[in-house]
């Protein structure tokens, strides 16, 4: 049914108040039909003598989640949202926005164009356009500062963060918090404004403010953006409200919005927005119903197990955790409680909510506690024999139909599943640390995993606020396999003349939150060391081994932040270059007779990106990932690949695969075996095609 046929905007009479309802599921985006409907409804209400005041609200879970992202990049359709909002603001009858769920982007701008805003106690408002590489384009940067001041508006438009009802009231952007039914409350509120002077945001002047404070706020936002441009530009556009009359500021905002709309960064971020929502729709589980999951069990309450327990309790699930002993269980209980205690102390949650968390989690050392659980997640030590023993016992204890999931980050899920005696019920659920924070979840499908088990893993992810990507079995699945491929490359560079700090700086300027050596120190060097020792017997002697320095650091007990020293030292918590490490690097390079060479930041970035894209193409060829977007989502949400680049596959297409292939060949010439160009990339570059042009299953056929 087209927009034109759907009644997207309705008007109801509530006495002398016209209630205008926006009804455009799923999120009431301001599509062309909604804009047209709003313009007509406001004009009709304005002309209707029986109407003294107007309330605008949304049907369903939300007020309005913004402009329709699907219309971006297409020829603009009339009426423009800016015009519709100006009409609403110009109304001679008071217009009140009744906000529930979210009012985001164009939705918040709609509320700002109204003369007053009444919020449901659970409502949130915000201008997340920067998260799409944009800035508000319908008055948000000009109306908001006139209501709450320049500096606060810079924060909201520049960060894209959501503001809850209580804060919105405090900021003065909400006029009231509804008590009882929102529509009724807003209708009474609007009736109360009849005959009173109408307050239009555009007519107000921003309150006096400290220029230096505003500049500092923009600089702080820009620093955090690490190369993404829209946050700084959003802040600078808000500043215009202090310099220009509303109509001029609005025109400048619009011009800047259209410029960003055509920018590479915004195209990348809009792709990432859609990819994040497309990823859980894995082709192999289309139409497959998940199993019912009401109660969850977790084996192991170490760092990962505890984080997973917190994620499920935060998602509302009763969780039973089993540890090896009463002492281990007590230590685990502390780990699980820690984030909630912090939230209670910071006022983020109240005492009642804190107590409710405790009611949902139990911990002990008796395995039978998970016998009635619908889903059991194992998070024990990353050793195959230990995992297999755990699954042998789980296979016997767990009820028929229960899903058995392993949180292994590298090991063969098929092999683990065999140990349970019921491999059909076994999947991988690879959480990322810290598991209660990181949104990425690799759902691993082993050869014998039943599709409804995989579908259950994916549906559970959404219920605990995670983004699921389905992947096949190989060493490290999608993310860790790619990491294990490019990580040795930077170790080689260190042996050959680059410094860890230069490599970290180059990749942080590229947009990664943290460079690889700093990440290693954070995660702990001992984890990689244990893995290298485990793989030593099967390592291919033809491949260059460049982890000698890392091994030496570990032999010295330098495991990173947890020991105060690793690749760096951390006096006062500050990451600091250690001359001892510099000397160790020189010593090992000399021992190995490594020729020293120069690695400009540009070369480091090109080679690392080439290695990531190349291995990612092999992941596609091997069918471990089915779609390029799966890889982009994992790298962005699991490994901090800059979202404003769209992920490695999207960026490689934007650069052009023939150029990326040249970088891959340069990297191969430098790093040798293991870095040969992927067949898929050679073919696509030859045919002047990109990853986005791949047909389903085509990559595997290229292998
Ligand atoms: N336009 C079109 N579709 C949208 C949409 C939007 N703005 N927001 C969500 N959807 C789709 C989404 O793709 C998914 O579709 C379904 O709705 C449910 O979403 C002029 C220019 C609102 C908090 O950035 O943050 O306004 O995949 O799975 O977890 O200044 O969606 O099912 O087919 O995310 O409950 C600014 C974006 C736009 C908000 C709900 N607004 N949306 O989260 O559901 S730019 C945003 C969200 C703008 C103006 C500018 C979230 C949500 P499908 P979901 P959810």
Is this structure's pTM higher than 0.85?
Answer: yes
The whole-number pLDDT of residue 5 equals 55
Q: Is 204 helix (H, G, I), strand (E, B) or coil?
A: coil
What is the DSSP track for 6-30? S--EEEEEETTEEEEEE--TTTT--
Q: Is the CB of 61 under 6 A from ligand 1?
A: no
Question: Which among 666, 616, 649 is positioned nearest to 484, based on CA atoms?
Answer: 616
Residues 384-420 pLDDT 10s: 999 999 999 999 999 999 999 999 999 999 999 999 9
Clarify whether 383 is annotated catalytic: no
Question: Which among 64, 55, 171 is positioned nearest to 118, based on CA atoms?
Answer: 55
The whole-number pLDDT of residue 343 equals 95
The whole-number pLDDT of residue 537 equals 87
- Minimum CA distance residue for ligand 1 atom 53: 277
Residues 203-259 pLDDT 10s: 999 999 999 999 999 999 999 999 999 999 999 999 999 999 999 999 999 999 999
22, 26, 261: which to mutate for ligand 1, most atoms within 8 A of CB? Answer: 26
Phi, psi angle pair for 565, to nearest 5°: -150, 140
Q: Is the CB of 66 under 6 A from ligand 1?
A: yes
Kindly give the distance from the C-alpha atom of residue 168 to the centroid of ligand 1, in angstroms, as a whole number.
Answer: 21
Tell me how far CA of residue 273 lies from CA of 322, 431, 678, in angstroms: 37, 21, 28
**Per annotation, catalytic residue among 129, 378, 615, 651:** 129
Clarify whether 129 is annotated catalytic: yes
Q: Is the CB of 81 under 6 A from ligand 1?
A: yes
Return d(Cα 389, Cα 701) in angstroms, integer. Answer: 37
The whole-number pLDDT of residue 6 equals 64
Question: Which among 336, 331, 290 is positioned nearest to 312, based on CA atoms?
Answer: 336
Q: How many CA atoms lie less than 13 Å away from 99 in the CB half-sphere?
A: 35
Percent of the chain with pLDDT over 70: 99
**Per annotation, catalytic residue among 36, 109, 276, 495:** 109
Return d(Cα 388, Cα 419) in angstroms, integer. Answer: 5
The whole-number pLDDT of residue 674 equals 93
What the block records as the tokens of 489 is: 């490359």
Give the H or E element holding residue 116: strand 116-119
Give the H or E element holding residue 603: helix 601-621
Tell me how far CA of residue 51 lies from CA of 11, 19, 178, 185, 191, in angstroms: 11, 10, 22, 17, 10
Query: How sure is the predictor about 539, in pLDDT bands with cuts at 50, 70 and 90?
Result: confident
Inform me whether the pLDDT recorded for 1 exceeds 60: no
Q: Is the CB of 315 under 6 A from ligand 1?
A: no
Residues 31-82 pLDDT 10s: 999 999 999 999 999 999 999 999 999 999 999 999 999 999 999 999 999 9
Residue with tokens 């990932």: 625
Residues 464-503 pLDDT 10s: 999 999 999 999 999 999 999 999 999 999 999 999 999 9
The whole-number pLDDT of residue 541 equals 83
Q: Is the CB of 102 under 6 A from ligand 1?
A: yes
Kindly give the distance from the C-alpha atom of residue 347 to the centroid of ligand 1, in angstroms, as a whole number.
Answer: 29
- Minimum CA distance residue for ligand 1 atom 41: 66
Residues 79-131 pLDDT 10s: 999 999 999 999 999 999 999 999 999 999 999 999 999 999 999 999 999 99
Query: How sure is the predictor about 4, in pLDDT bands with cuts at 50, 70 and 90?
Result: low
């Amino acid at each position: 049914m087209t927009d034109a046929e759907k009644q997207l905007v309705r008007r109801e009479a509530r006495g002398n108040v016209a209630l205008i309802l926006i009804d455009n599921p799923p999120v009431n985006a301001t599509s062309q039909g909604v804009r047209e409907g709003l313009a007509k409804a406001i004009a009709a209400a304005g002309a209707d003598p029986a109407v003294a005041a107007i309330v605008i609200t949304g049907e369903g879970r939300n007020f309005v989640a913004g402009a329709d992202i699907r219309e971006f990049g297409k020829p603009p359709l009339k009426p423009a949202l800016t015009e519709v909002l100006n009409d609403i603001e110009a109304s001679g009858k008071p217009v009140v926005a009744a906000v529930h769920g979210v009012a985001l982007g164009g939705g918040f701008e709609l509320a700002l164009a109204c003369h007053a805003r009444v919020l449901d106690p659970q409502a949130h408002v915000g201008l997340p356009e920067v998260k799409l590489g944009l800035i508000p384009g319908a008055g948000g940067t000009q109306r908001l500062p006139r209501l709450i001041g320049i500096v606060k508006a810079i924060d909201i438009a520049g960060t894209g963060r959501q503001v809850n009802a209580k804060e919105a009231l405090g900021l003065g952007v909400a006029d009231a918090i509804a008590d009882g039914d929102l529509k009724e409350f807003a209708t009474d509120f609007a009736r109360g404004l009849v005959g009173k002077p109408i307050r239009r945001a555009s007519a107000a002047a921003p309150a006096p403010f400290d220029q230096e404070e505003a500049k500092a706020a923009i600089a702080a936002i820009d620093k955090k953006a690490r190369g993404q441009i829209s946050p700084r530009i959003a802040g600078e556009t808000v500043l215009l409200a202090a310099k220009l009359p509303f109509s001029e500021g609005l025109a400048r905002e619009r011009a800047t919005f259209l410029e960003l709309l055509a920018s590479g960064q915004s195209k990348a971020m809009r792709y990432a927005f859609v990819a994040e929502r497309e990823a859980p729709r894995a082709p192999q589980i289309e139409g497959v119903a998940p199993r019912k999951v009401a109660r969850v069990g977790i084996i192991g309450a170490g760092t990962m197990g505890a984080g997973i327990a917190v994620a499920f309790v935060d998602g509302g699930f009763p969780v039973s955790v089993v540890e090896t002993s009463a002492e281990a269980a007590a230590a685990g209980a502390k780990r699980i409680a820690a984030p909630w205690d912090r939230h209670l102390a910071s006022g983020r949650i109240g005492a009642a909510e804190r107590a409710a968390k405790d009611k949902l989690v139990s911990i002990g050392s008796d395995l039978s506690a998970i016998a009635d659980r619908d889903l059991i997640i194992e998070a024990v030590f990353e050793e195959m024999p230990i995992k297999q023993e755990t699954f042998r016992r789980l296979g016997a204890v767990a009820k028929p139909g229960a899903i058995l999931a392993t949180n292994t980050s590298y090991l063969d899920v098929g092999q683990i599943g065999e140990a349970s005696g019921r491999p059909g019920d076994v999947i991988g659920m690879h959480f990322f640390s810290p598991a209660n924070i990181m949104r990425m979840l690799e759902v691993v499908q082993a050869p014998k995993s039943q599709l409804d088990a995989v579908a259950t893993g994916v549906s559970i992810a959404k219920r605990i606020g995670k983004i699921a990507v389905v992947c096949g079995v190989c060493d490290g699945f999608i993310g860790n396999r790619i990491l294990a491929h490019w990580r040795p490359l930077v170790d080689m560079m260190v042996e050959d003349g680059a410094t860890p700090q230069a490599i970290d700086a180059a990749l942080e300027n590229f947009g990664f939150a943290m460079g690889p050596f700093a990440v290693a120190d954070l995660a702990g060097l001992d984890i990689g060391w244990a893995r290298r020792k485990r793989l030593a017997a099967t390592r291919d002697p033809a491949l260059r081994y460049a982890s000698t320095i890392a091994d030496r650091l570990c032999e010295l007990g330098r495991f990173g932040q947890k020991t105060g020293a690793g690749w760096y030292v951390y006096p006062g918590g500050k990451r600091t270059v250690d001359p001892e490490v510099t000397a160790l690097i020189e010593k090992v390079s000399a021992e190995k007779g490594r020729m020293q060479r120069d690695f400009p930041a540009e070369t480091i970035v090109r080679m690392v990106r080439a290695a990531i894209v190349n291995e990612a193409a092999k992941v596609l060829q091997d069918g471990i990932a089915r779609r390029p977007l799966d890889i982009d989502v994992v790298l962005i949400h699991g490994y901090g690949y800059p979202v404003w680049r769209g992920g490695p596959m999207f960026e490689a297409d934007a650069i052009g695969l023939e150029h990326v292939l040249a970088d891959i060949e340069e990297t191969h010439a430098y790093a040798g075996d293991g870095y040969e160009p992927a067949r898929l990339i050679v073919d696509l570059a030859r045919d002047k095609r990109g990853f986005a042009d791949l047909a389903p299953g085509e990559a595997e056929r290229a292998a």
